[in-house]
């Protein structure tokens, strides 16, 4: 047998053997009837890469805490803002004076130009009370309470 013929015969023989194992005996089958063969495909192994990437999980939305400082007056929030431990936040500060917003305890800082707005993303993962202030002027914007 040549190598070429063996390459064709071996897969065919394997298919016949597998087909014979996958069928049930048909006692009432008429001579000449072909057996029904079902082929099952297997899932890729754990190490194999998926055919297409899984859909992205929706990201939880962050709670936006908006505060404005205009003419020395803080508006938009009460003096204390309570949030849940683990909650995702965006502290959005608009100020009519240039300064640096500082979230104490988390040590998050962001410069806010006069007349503009800055966003500070934050996950409230430290329990307690924390001042959010304009650092240079020392102006308290609000107390962030995480529980």
**Spatial contact of 144 and 103, defined as CB atoms under 8 Å apart:** yes
Question: What is the CB neighbour count within 10 angstroms for residue 77?
Answer: 17
CA distance 116 to 144: 22
pLDDT digits (tens, 9 = 90+) for 11-42: 555 444 444 544 444 455 555 555 444 444 44
pLDDT at 47: 53
Q: Which residues contact 105 (CB under 8 A, 6 or more apart)?
A: 126, 128, 130
Whole-structure pTM value: 0.59
pLDDT at 37: 44
Name the nearest CA neighbour of 83 among 133, 122, 44: 122
How high is the mean pLDDT of the chain?
77
CA distance 65 to 118: 12
For the chain, which residues make up each domain, given as ranges? 63-146
Among 3.30.479.30, 2.60.40.420, 3.40.50.300, 3.40.50.720, name the CATH number for the domain at 63-146.
2.60.40.420
């Amino acid at each position: 047998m040549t190598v070429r013929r063996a390459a064709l015969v071996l897969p065919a023989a394997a298919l016949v053997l597998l087909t014979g194992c996958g069928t049930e005996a048909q006692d009432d089958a008429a001579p000449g009837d072909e057996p029904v063969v079902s082929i099952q495909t297997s899932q890729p192994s754990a190490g194999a890469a998926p055919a297409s990437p899984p859909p992205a999980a929706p990201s939880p939305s962050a709670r936006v805490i908006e505060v404005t400082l205009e003419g020395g007056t803080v508006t938009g929030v009460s003096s204390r803002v309570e949030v849940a431990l683990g909650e995702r936040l965006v502290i959005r500060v608009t100020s009519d004076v240039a300064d640096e917003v500082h979230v104490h305890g988390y040590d998050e800082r962001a410069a806010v130009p006069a007349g503009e707005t800055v966003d500070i993303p934050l996950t409230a993962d430290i329990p307690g009370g924390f001042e959010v202030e304009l650092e240079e002027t020392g102006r308290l914007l609000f107390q962030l309470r995480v529980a």
